[in-house]
Structure 1
Amino acid sequence: MTRKQRRLTLIAAAGTVLAVSAGLVLNAASSRITLFKTPTEIAEGLAGQGDQRLRIGGLVKDGSVLRGEGATVRFAVTDTVNDVPVTYVGLLPDLFREGQGVVAEGRLGPDGVFTADNVLAKHDENYMPKEVVDSLKAQGVWEGDGAGAMKSN
């Protein structure tokens, strides 16, 4: 084998190792990605069901919070156009209440009910997650003055 052939073989082997490792990293990362969707995107069928992890955001719909047996809570997340029913088992954040911004992480079932395994509420009177703000601005219902600010009720 000539010197040129050895060099090409080494470059090809290194390229193969690099491609395989990049593929493994991308495969592992894709299983951990959580996509953000609005209730309208979910209603339009733009969200995956089953094993696809989602993060939905909007406002907790007024009159929708129902506390069941144990730590089960049912509520609806709305973007004022569409609603998504959510079921959550666990303790809700202290700032969770109707009419306030919320982000829920979990999976969308085939029945259209979102089963959350994590619920995040805004942490003070002037902050709402950027994705929720963008969604509310797109719907034309945002009343805030900054990128993350919202007028208090």
Structure 2
Amino acid sequence: MRKELAKCFLESTSTLLLITNVSLLVLVYTVTVYGIRGGSAAVPVICTACFDFTLCDVGQDFEDKVETAIERLRDYKCKTTDTELLGFVESVQRSLEPQQRFSMCGWYNLNKTLLLALGNLVMTNLVVLLQIGNSNSMSS
């Protein structure tokens, strides 16, 4: 069940991330090259950045909460002497360990590292597009 849900979430999330970041790249390139001024260009950029940040923040929050739960279980395990309770705590801890990362079917982890990678992707491609645009304008 969890893998099916992750697969469904992977496809929709990956598609949304791709579309929003490509549109962000095209918008920033268009504004930079053609010098479009005004607040209307800022709205899609802000919306895309907020969407990316929110999605990655949810994944990071999930990872942080699982890590906190595992740490609390480790602490509790050190304090208890009841063998039956100790076995239960260990089984819960083992079941949480694979979920420490909010993985999108192993393709990428949905966390703040992804947010940095998306920003890096947009900036790198923007620089390339600007260099191509400048070389075309110089040759004309």
Give TM class, smaller chain. under 0.3
Relative to total residues, which structure has the larger helix share, 1 or 2?
A: 2
Using CA pairs under 8 Å that are at least 6 residues apart, name the structure with larger relative contact order, 1 or 2: 2
TM-score w.r.t. the length of structure 2 is 0.22
From the two aligned structures, give the one with the greater strand fraction. Answer: 1
* Alignment TM-score, normalising by the size of structure 1: 0.21
